[in-house]
Copies of this chain bind each other. A is one copy, B any other.
Amino acid sequence: MPNDTLEAVQMEDRVKVVINGSNMNLWFTSEPETVRNALCTVTKLGSDIKISEDISGLLELVLAEILNNIVEHAYQEQPDGPIELAITVSESKVHCILRDSGVPMPGGAPPERKEHDLEAPLEELPEGGFGWGIVRDLVQDLQYNRVAHENVLSFELSP
């Protein structure tokens, strides 16, 4: 049962965090160090909103992949783009919404999983292109919308 008097508003390493009941909201910018701080904050404070131990590592991984793409592609490495992350836990499922103000997702949807040729010669082994494959493998209910110059992405993660 969520404790409704618990509300924390704090700044953790340039990340604004609001915790309320089974909800955590974070605001931060597209600078890689700051994104890392945001991820660490989610993992550190996750138990406050009842994110279970066994899902916490995968959640950090999925969020890292999505956030790296926001930093790299949506904001094209510009470090001061605003990013927002809202996490809600409901009966052990974790529901996330991510929002950025960068360029739209090409094709209007997150890319499909890419199949890589791992039999290829050493020099041709892929060093990237894994991000959305990992996300799609792990999450349910992935949804993307462009709303008023902003990207809104949501997904669910079950234990």
B101 touches A101 (CB 8 A): yes
Would you call A44 an interface residue if the criterion is a C-beta within 8 Å of the partner chain's C-beta atoms?
no
Among B93, B143, B152, point to the contact of A4 (Cβ < 8 A). Answer: B93
Copies in the complex: 2
How long is the Cα–Cα vector from A133 to B156 in the complex, in angstroms?
39
26 residue pairs bridging A and B, Cβ less than 8 Å apart? A2-B91, A4-B90, A4-B91, A4-B93, A7-B95, A9-B154, A18-B154, A20-B88, A20-B90, A20-B95, A21-B22, A21-B91, A21-B95, A22-B22, A23-B23, A25-B97, A27-B147, A27-B150, A27-B152, A28-B147, A29-B148, A80-B148, A82-B149, A84-B84, A86-B86, A101-B101
